Amino acid sequence: MGTSVELKTFRKRFRPIYVYYKSGEDEPIPVYCSNGEESDQKEVCAKLRNMMFVLSFHPKHSGLKRFRKEIMLFS
């Protein structure tokens, strides 16, 4: 099973910014929202890392379990 990341960028700035996790045909799960605030890249990555780590414990997303160490390497 391969892992892929899809990043969509736009010329226009949007506020707030939402980030979702999607696995297969399941509904996307919101993992981050900027609430229209300015955030630095380090802060956003930390929040995303924390949410993906927590999500890896959910039985429905057990596929993320094998990525826990990789997720936390960026701490």
pLDDT per residue as tens digits for the range 12-49: 666 777 888 888 888 888 888 887 777 777 888 888 88
Quick check: 63 and 23 in contact, CB under 8 A?
Answer: yes
Instruction: Tell whether 60 is covered by a domain.
Output: no
**pLDDT at residue number 1:** 45
Instruction: Tell whether 29 is covered by a domain.
Output: yes
Instruction: Tell whether 50 is covered by a domain.
Output: yes
Name residue 28's amino acid. Answer: P
Domain of residue 25, residue span: 14-55
Instruction: Tell whether 64 is covered by a domain.
Output: no
Q: Name the band, by pLDDT with cuts 50, 70 and 90, for residue 54.
A: confident
Neighbour-count burial of 41, counting CB atoms closer than 10 A to its CB (0-12 exposed, 13-18 middle, 19+ buried): exposed
Instruction: Tell whether 37 is covered by a domain.
Output: yes
The larger pLDDT score, comparing residue 57 to residue 37, is at: 57
- What is the pTM (predicted TM-score) of this model? 0.64
Number of structural domains in the chain: 1
